[in-house]
Amino acid sequence: MSDTRPNVVLIMADQLRADCLGCYGNTVIETEFIDFLASEGTVFENAYSPSPSCVPARTCLMTGMNQWNTGIMGMGGGQGKSTDGFLHTLPGELAKAGYHTQGIGKMHFSPQRSLCGFHHTVIDESMRKEEKHFVSDYHAWFEQNKTGDYGPVDHGIPFNSWMTRPFQAPEFLHPTNWTVNQAINFLEKRDPTKPFFLKVSFARPHSPYDPPQWYYDKYKEKEPTEPYMGDWATVHDDIQAGKNPDAWHGRIPIEKVMDGRRGYYGSIHHVDHQIGRLMQFMSRYMKNEMQNTLFIFTSDHGDMLGDHFMWRKTYAYEGSARIPLIVKLPTKMKTKQVAVNDKPVTLYDIMPTVLEATGVQIPKTVDGLSLLPLTQDRDVPWRDVVHGEHSTCYSQEEEMQFVTDGKYKYIWFPRTGREQFFRLTEDRSESKDLICDPDYSDKREEYKGKLIEILRARNAGLVDDEGLVVQTKPIISPEYAKRVGV
């Protein structure tokens, strides 16, 4: 008797902000395949990264746990980085339930060859080398297949830079193409007697903004949206800081900012076409399996792209923290699937969603909520807000805590006590800070109260009888030490 449980394809793009897809309202960028997937599924308008940088966000996704319970709330400032040792992970639970599980592309696990529950991984680590003899699968393949004496980043653009230029090697050698090649290879060679879970994880559009020449040229003459500049953004208007090619903040000439945005757009368009290759392969050679597949598309975090004189991620602002999240149900589950949902959702909701859809028991360690009821127009209780945070990375003054429901957002900076408040329904760009506006004092206190309630439950010195307490050290969860045994 064949196993008729649904397959799962989880597609993740690295550092992709929500407003850089057509289905989220961008009219310049071309993302036809992702938009088509969205048209057949549910678009979550208010999806946020719980800790907007690579390792903490991905750990939340893999475990279904919030960032306090994973013990990883950043990529510095006393935060651990081991992603090993969790009792329950998404691929691990599916593997135990009889699924064939495969991870492809950027995993960002530590140790780098950890499986974290997958049967097998084929990885692209974007030049990270944490162990002496480690070589990523992509780089080994690149060296075997290159057509000349060059390396994968000989163009000289760093992996966190605002600079851009075309990929210096033939397009077939780009990691975006390689990732889909490996996904198709798995689909051709998987165990056909089992349902499968496939995570396809692109290392782009994360910088370097180095799309192949065709995609670079495509956006050379186009005009992306100019960066947003808030009435508060002068705090990051630093001419000297902006001279650094790896700058996380600072004043950079607008023509260079726009060039960086064009390169970012080209990288996204390239990812979209490769997703199209994957979907076409499945439509042509796996039609029945494709109809019985749950597709989820998301990102770990966004990219500020020069908004408010800022770049990269780790911030509470929309460009950094708001992510795309699209869920397309298998055909047999699609009755009454809603097109758009505006509930506040986050990455640790993905694990319980997949487990409910596949009939696998959800472990008690999971903090997330299944999105299935929201896709099927079922009335269920839901959280009021998403809570996000990030510890020290670029600057301790930028450590942040935020709560949002997609309508309003309250931000607190634990090291300085600084606060911000935005009305997102009228100002997604977060250009007008309402923290001192008396017309919004009640709303500000309401959302601040939600953050206080969440942090008070930690009993970690973040709240006292008078409210939020300014911190002198990074916020560190005791859960990390418990897990790694230190």
Residue-wise pLDDT for 416-431, tens only, equals 999 999 999 999 999 9
> By the 8 A CB rule, do 84 and 55 touch?
no
In tens, the pLDDT along 91-144 reads 999 999 999 999 999 999 999 999 999 999 999 999 899 888 999 999 999 999
| pLDDT value, residue 431 | 98
**142/138 Cα distance (integer angstroms):** 6
Contact 216, 204 (CB under 8 A): no
Q: pTM of the full predicted structure? A: 0.97
Decide if 23 is catalytic: no
Q: Which pLDDT does position 424 carry in this prediction?
A: 98
pLDDT of residue 221: 87
- Start-end ranges of CATH 3.30.1120 in the chain? 390-484
Q: What is the fold of 7-387?
A: Alkaline Phosphatase, subunit A (3.40.720)
The pLDDT of residue 337 is 85
Mean pLDDT of the chain: 96
Let me know the angle formed at the C-alpha of 198 by 195 and 202, rounded to the nearest 5 degrees.
170
* From-to residues of CATH 3.40.720.10 in the chain: 7-387
Among 203, 205, 177, 183, CA closest to 8: 183
- Which pLDDT score, from 0 to 100, does residue 256 have? 97
Residue scoring higher pLDDT (221 or 122)? 122
Name the catalytic one among 20, 54, 60, 116. 54
**pLDDT > 70 fraction of the chain, expressed in percent and rounded:** 100
Cβ neighbors of 358 (< 8 A, separation 6 or more) are: 5, 6, 8, 94, 97, 99, 195, 294
pLDDT tens per residue across span 57-83: 999 999 999 999 999 999 877 788 889
State the DSSP code for 183: H
Q: Give the pLDDT band of residue 486 (cuts 50, 70, 90).
A: low
28 near 225, Cβ under 8 Å? yes
Is residue 108 annotated as a catalytic residue, yes or no?
A: yes
- Annotated catalytic residue, options 88, 100, 108, 308: 108
pLDDT of 6: 97
**Is the backbone peptide bond immediately before 111 cis, with ω within 30 degrees of 0?**
yes
Residue 1 has pLDDT above 60, yes or no: no
Q: 236 near 437, Cβ under 8 Å?
A: no
d(C-alpha 315, C-alpha 430), whole Å: 13
Class of domain 390-484: alpha beta
- C-alpha 483/C-alpha 82 separation (Å) is 9
CA separation for the pair 448, 441 (Å, rounded): 10
pLDDT at 209 over 70: yes
Q: Is the pLDDT of residue 477 over 80?
A: yes
